[in-house]
Structure 1
Amino acid sequence: MVTATKDKRQLYREQGWWGDTTLADMFRANAGIHPERLALVDPPNRAVFAFGEPQRLTYAQMLAETERLAGALLANGIGKDDVIMVQLPNISEFVNLYFAAATIGAVVSPAAVQYRSHELSEMYRIAKPSAFVCATRFKGNDHLSTARKVIGAGCQIMTFGPDAPDDTVDLSAARADPGLLAAHRKTHRVDADDVFTICWTSGTTGTPKGVPRSHNHWIAIAPGTYQPSGLRDGDVMLNPFPLINMASIGGVTMSWLRVCGTMVLHHPFDPQVFLGQIATERPQFTIAPPAVLNMLLQNEELLAKVDLSSLRTIGSGSAPLAPSMVSGFQERFGIMVVNLFGSNEGMSLVTGPEAVPDPVERASYFPREMVLEPMLGGTAAAMAETRLVSIGDGSEITEMGVPGELEIRGPSVFEGYHDAPEQTEAAFTQDGFFRTGDLFEIAGDGRFYRFVGRCKDLIIRGGVNIAPEEIDQLLGGHPLLAEACAFSLPDPVMGERIGLAYVPREDREITLEEVTDFLREKDLAVFKLPERMYRFEALPRNVTNKAMRSEVREHALGSREGA
């Protein structure tokens, strides 16, 4: 495993990126300063998809609940460094459980609610959890039955919700044991360098990889969102992303912790509920996938019914942003869209309005050097070192307009995959840079990166590399397309050609000629124009709402249709 050297750890501390404060310490400090401030708000429809009435917890109430849960975990044999696999929707119990685990030094390994035994079995094998936590009720799913298929001896099933089976630990009803928690705190010090989460990612093979992150890793990455987004003390944040990955934990939860704000949860994604929460909870910040923002901006009837005036900034990422969308929100509503690009491993590129005022440039560019103030104080400095290297010979790229793989190292970057030395060795260079697998090029006046695509997603047409994301981004502004996803088609002459999966807007027909004419108007090179189109009812997406290009391609190749 690649680890930060002692000198590096000391340097990170001296600069303020790392420290001796845990996330539980930060939360308790917030509760002490603002005990009556509203901390956490449940989705208004939680009774529909899960159980119970929506909760609205102050910091004092949330602190009491996290300490109750911490005592319950201890009473059932879960302690420092024990792994807790969690499969819960975005409800207040999930957030409380995170901070209960942080209090006792346990490790949370969150799993998407959509996962079944196929995915969970491998994650269980890698993480070796001591407990599996799920809900007794979740719309359309029986997580308890799935858990029983997956777990082995020595792992307890713990539940939230009514009608807990006798063979599970009912965390909803467990009583607090303050004495047990106090004794544990005296004998088990939680260190900020301890692993706090093991989130999950997968490579081109689909095999899950555990990504351990310490308290300090999360603390180091937090400024990447709250500073470019201009978040202020007490801000309200609407969180529609599942509490399992970088967008939700690093982007919203850590920002909430930093500004002692109010976090409003949302699940599952429902545009009507989401817009209703904006109207009633009046958030200053939220995050949303590009496809949702594109849809909203092009729906005049819906826009006429919603009040977005509380929002100052919206974070968006997971796919390239359409320049027309970023411009539209800024020009029509005065809302700044912040361009987010990150990974569970700790890669973080963020473009806010202060760094890049022009919305068209902000949709496409990321600063090559993000100078930010560390969360724990200290002088503003670059959050990470980055470089581009050729995917052919590994040489460093310094000229503009040449695609290369982004490599990154710094205090926000994890130190190796969990119990996977071979995967770790392949993921890092000899000098400690993480190979992101993402293609960028130096752009603008040389101060920026522009995302080109994934290394494995390249379309190689006649020996020329084409990034499908570039085509997706341009088509994000097409008035007749709700969704678009370019991919490679095998071809005996050119090697590969360009296919396009699309979802029409309002069931409108659209021709290949109309698409290519639109792209020609954007002055896209002719060799990048789609050559065959496939109509979809909806693009397959993963749990973070990214279009699954490999599945799109597989479905298209298995179809006889295509224009």
Structure 2
Amino acid sequence: MFLTPDSQTEDYRAKGWWGTRTVDDMLQDAISSHPASMALVDPLNRESLDGVMPRSLSWADLGTEVDRTAAALLARGLEKDDRLVVQLPNTVDAVIIFLAAARIGLIISPVVMQYREHEIRYIIEKIEPAAFVTIPQFGGFDHDSLGHSLTDELADVQLVILNGTGESALDLASADIAAVGHYRENNPVDAAEILTICWTSGTESRPKGVPRNHCHWVLNADVIVDAAGMVESDVLLNPFPLVNIGSIGGLVLPWLQLQTKLVLHHPFDIAIFLNQIAAEKVSYTIAPPAVLGALLKNPALLETFDIGSLRAVGSGSAPLSPWLIETWKNVHDIEITNIFGSNEGSSLFSSPAFVPDPSERARFFPRLGAKGVEWPGRVAEVMQTRLVDPATGAEITEAGLVGEMRLAGGTIFSGYWRSPELNQSAFDEDGYFATGDLFEIAGEGALSRYYRFVGRSKEIIVRGGVNISPAELDDLIVGHPKIREAATVGIADDKLGERVAVAVAPNEGEEISLSDLTAWLSEQQIAIFKHPEMLVTVDQLPRNAMNKVMRDELRDIVIAKLD
């Protein structure tokens, strides 16, 4: 399935941004080059989570597992361009499904394990998949029953259970591996065809699908390896499930390019995380600022594990402090790369190579691809950036003026899934993606080569690195019979970045508690991580002349009431 216009694909290939290499080509190259080398390692606590013993796979073993899984999917009647909604934890099975889809031309749409019927049903309606792929249970939750409740009423969506039993279980034992080669000969996969549809939240009330093709992902590997300073000898630790660009683009694709070892981790547990670094000799990983800060404030825990192999960490999703980057460098000789990115492919990198000073690295990002500003490296070759006045649309070229970040280039997606109206506002007249994030040119002279992050113009709440749409929560909460109006805001938190707070205006004579609200949301089958953690009661919400909730003012009201 091609979603990028042919003219754009031809232009990007002529520029050398895109080529003809697919994700499966990357896998096959690694298998040929290092068949006996260790490739993939399960979370060491996997058995306690889903009852399956942890596995470690060489590249040759991984190739066999991918072929067997692809053959089993073909035997279930799945065909090229069919879409799969996939809910899997961060185990070798998730990587295998991703690679099997790439091998035979399926389109994979992954969702987080916390999603329940409310979120998954919406995504199924938007994606219209041929199958929903999940596991029997995880962390005590019955995903098998959830899968049946979603698919029993949908004749066109089959349920595929990994490591399960019964009619829905994927039959790997009978899979005909030879069928995969024959199928590929008759159904070749072009690198410009869609491989994934990930989901992102913003000001809109429901998630938006972000399609990305093989070219996007292959280039993403080039960019991350270059920007993060990864090397072929690196051992990578992935602490996040394969549901977004942070995990797939930040670690899985670089792993394929480097042909090294990838260690998986799920759910996030700081002691297990440190144990894996020590046991597997991990040299590069990613972690949110809250985790990095908490570790520095608990030196006794750090001293329990030998993390001497760790040389670099990528971090983002919230502002980093100069203290954090400086302390990791000065005390532990570990470099932190400040990454500002999104599923849409808009990424800025402040790395030791670009910004050697740790204090500046916390605040500044190179103006990669900006007119008149030269930077070395692959990321600067394939990215274009500029700032635009949000009110007038005029380009900002002077220091100290706040503007919206606009990005273009080979890493940027081509448009949201089946959202023509949204796409009209997502891109400007020159084809730049409007990120909704506010930056300014950092200063004059040498500082003119850098952007400084100012804030988000979008209203998303980022809790523990996961985006939560306040508009979606607002729509759900006002459905409570005791509530007249309600709105949610993010409140700053040292551990998670932000926490969800809600202001409610009850109906006359009614009272509502936080436990009342969370119980009601649970009945609506809402993912637990979206549940408000704080509630305040107000007479009415602050609104502007257009009747839109003024969230900045509401946040001040909520904070005052919580103090």
TM-score, normalised via structure 1 length: 0.80
The change in CA–CA distance for 1:48 and 1:81 in structure 2 (over 3 A counts) is: same
In structure 2, the partner of 1:23 is 23
On the 8 A contact 2:202/2:459 being kept in 1, the answer is: no
**1:363-384 deviations in whole A, cap 9, x for unaligned?**
111111165655xxxxx85221
On the 8 A contact 1:501/1:556 being kept in 2, the answer is: no
* Separation (CA, whole Å) in 1 of partners of 2:266 and 2:230: 23
Matched letter for residue 260 of structure 1? Q
On the 8 A contact 1:224/1:348 being kept in 2, the answer is: no
* Separation (CA, whole Å) in 1 of partners of 2:414 and 2:531: 28
Instruction: Give runs of aligned pairs for residues 352-391 of structure 1, distance below 5 A.
Output: 352-369=351-368, 371=375, 373-374=377-378, 382-391=381-390
The change in CA–CA distance for 1:206 and 1:500 in structure 2 (over 3 A counts) is: closer
In structure 1, the partner of 2:423 is 424
On the 8 A contact 1:23/1:102 being kept in 2, the answer is: yes
In structure 1, the partner of 2:156 is 154
**1:424-480 deviations in whole A, cap 9, x for unaligned?**
11211122111111111111511111111110349xxxxxxxxx99xx9xxxxxxxx
Matched letter for residue 261 of structure 2? T
Instruction: Give runs of aligned pairs for residues 237-256 of structure 1, distance below 5 A.
Output: 237-256=236-255
The change in CA–CA distance for 1:102 and 1:4 in structure 2 (over 3 A counts) is: closer
The change in CA–CA distance for 1:319 and 1:4 in structure 2 (over 3 A counts) is: same
On the 8 A contact 1:372/1:383 being kept in 2, the answer is: no
In structure 1, the partner of 2:472 is none
The change in CA–CA distance for 1:547 and 1:257 in structure 2 (over 3 A counts) is: farther
**1:301-350 deviations in whole A, cap 9, x for unaligned?**
11222222101110000111111000000111111101111111110111
* Separation (CA, whole Å) in 2 of partners of 1:556 and 1:59: 54
Matched letter for residue 358 of structure 2? P
Instruction: Give runs of aligned pairs for residues 34-53 of structure 1, distance below 5 A.
Output: 34-53=34-53
Deviation larger for 100-109 or 152-161 = 152-161
In structure 2, the partner of 1:61 is 61
The change in CA–CA distance for 1:502 and 1:345 in structure 2 (over 3 A counts) is: closer
Deviation at 1:562, TM superposition (A): 3.0
**1:162-186 deviations in whole A, cap 9, x for unaligned?**
4x2x331325x44321332122111
* Separation (CA, whole Å) in 1 of partners of 2:58 and 2:99: 15
The change in CA–CA distance for 1:428 and 1:560 in structure 2 (over 3 A counts) is: closer
1:312 aligns with 2:339: no
Partner of 2:415, secondary structure, is coil
In structure 2, the partner of 1:349 is 348
The change in CA–CA distance for 1:328 and 1:205 in structure 2 (over 3 A counts) is: same
Deviation at 1:555, TM superposition (A): 9.6
On the 8 A contact 1:290/1:317 being kept in 2, the answer is: yes
Matched letter for residue 62 of structure 2? M
Deviation at 1:204, TM superposition (A): 1.4
1:281 aligns with 2:283: no
* Separation (CA, whole Å) in 1 of partners of 2:442 and 2:26: 39
* Separation (CA, whole Å) in 1 of partners of 2:72 and 2:440: 51
In structure 1, the partner of 2:113 is 113
* Separation (CA, whole Å) in 2 of partners of 1:322 and 1:546: 26
Partner of 2:137, secondary structure, is coil
* Separation (CA, whole Å) in 1 of partners of 2:100 and 2:334: 35
* Separation (CA, whole Å) in 1 of partners of 2:251 and 2:302: 25
**1:264-321 deviations in whole A, cap 9, x for unaligned?**
0000000000000011011110000100000001112112222221011100001111
Deviation at 1:9, TM superposition (A): 2.4
On the 8 A contact 1:228/1:353 being kept in 2, the answer is: no
Matched letter for residue 310 of structure 2? L
Q: How many aligned positions are there?
A: 482
* Separation (CA, whole Å) in 2 of partners of 1:119 and 1:358: 43
Instruction: Give runs of aligned pairs for residues 89-168 of structure 1, distance below 5 A.
Output: 89-151=89-151, 152-162=154-164, 164=165, 166-168=166-168
The change in CA–CA distance for 1:287 and 1:503 in structure 2 (over 3 A counts) is: closer
On the 8 A contact 2:328/2:336 being kept in 1, the answer is: yes
Instruction: Give runs of aligned pairs for residues 265-276 of structure 1, distance below 5 A.
Output: 265-276=264-275
In structure 2, the partner of 1:328 is 327
* Separation (CA, whole Å) in 2 of partners of 1:3 and 1:13: 16
Deviation at 1:221, TM superposition (A): 2.1
On the 8 A contact 1:224/1:372 being kept in 2, the answer is: no
* Separation (CA, whole Å) in 1 of partners of 2:69 and 2:147: 21
Deviation at 1:155, TM superposition (A): 0.9
The change in CA–CA distance for 1:71 and 1:3 in structure 2 (over 3 A counts) is: closer
On the 8 A contact 1:221/1:348 being kept in 2, the answer is: no
The change in CA–CA distance for 1:337 and 1:504 in structure 2 (over 3 A counts) is: closer
Partner of 2:96, secondary structure, is helix
On the 8 A contact 1:223/1:372 being kept in 2, the answer is: no
In structure 2, the partner of 1:12 is 12
Deviation at 1:548, TM superposition (A): 8.9
TM-score, normalised via structure 2 length: 0.80
In structure 1, the partner of 2:398 is 399
Matched letter for residue 306 of structure 1? F
Matched letter for residue 215 of structure 2? N
**1:185-218 deviations in whole A, cap 9, x for unaligned?**
1110100000000000122133111110000011
The change in CA–CA distance for 1:107 and 1:121 in structure 2 (over 3 A counts) is: same
In structure 2, the partner of 1:214 is 213
The change in CA–CA distance for 1:70 and 1:203 in structure 2 (over 3 A counts) is: same
Deviation at 1:560, TM superposition (A): 8.6
* Separation (CA, whole Å) in 2 of partners of 1:310 and 1:317: 22
CA RMSD of aligned residues (A): 2.9
In structure 2, the partner of 1:337 is 336
In structure 1, the partner of 2:451 is 449
Deviation larger for 340-349 or 227-236 = 227-236
* Separation (CA, whole Å) in 1 of partners of 2:380 and 2:338: 20
Q: Which structure 1 segments of 5+ residues have no match?
A: 375-379, 459-467, 473-497, 506-541
Partner of 1:20, secondary structure, is coil
Deviation at 1:561, TM superposition (A): 4.8
In structure 1, the partner of 2:515 is none
* Separation (CA, whole Å) in 2 of partners of 1:108 and 1:395: 39
The change in CA–CA distance for 1:73 and 1:200 in structure 2 (over 3 A counts) is: same
In structure 2, the partner of 1:516 is none
Taking every aligned residue pair, what percent have the same amino acid on both sides? 43
Partner of 2:436, secondary structure, is strand
Matched letter for residue 299 of structure 2? E
**1:355-408 deviations in whole A, cap 9, x for unaligned?**
11001111111111165655xxxxx85221111111112111111121111111
On the 8 A contact 1:224/1:349 being kept in 2, the answer is: no
* Separation (CA, whole Å) in 2 of partners of 1:14 and 1:302: 52
Matched letter for residue 126 of structure 1? K
Matched letter for residue 33 of structure 2? I
Matched letter for residue 90 of structure 2? N
Deviation at 1:228, TM superposition (A): 2.5
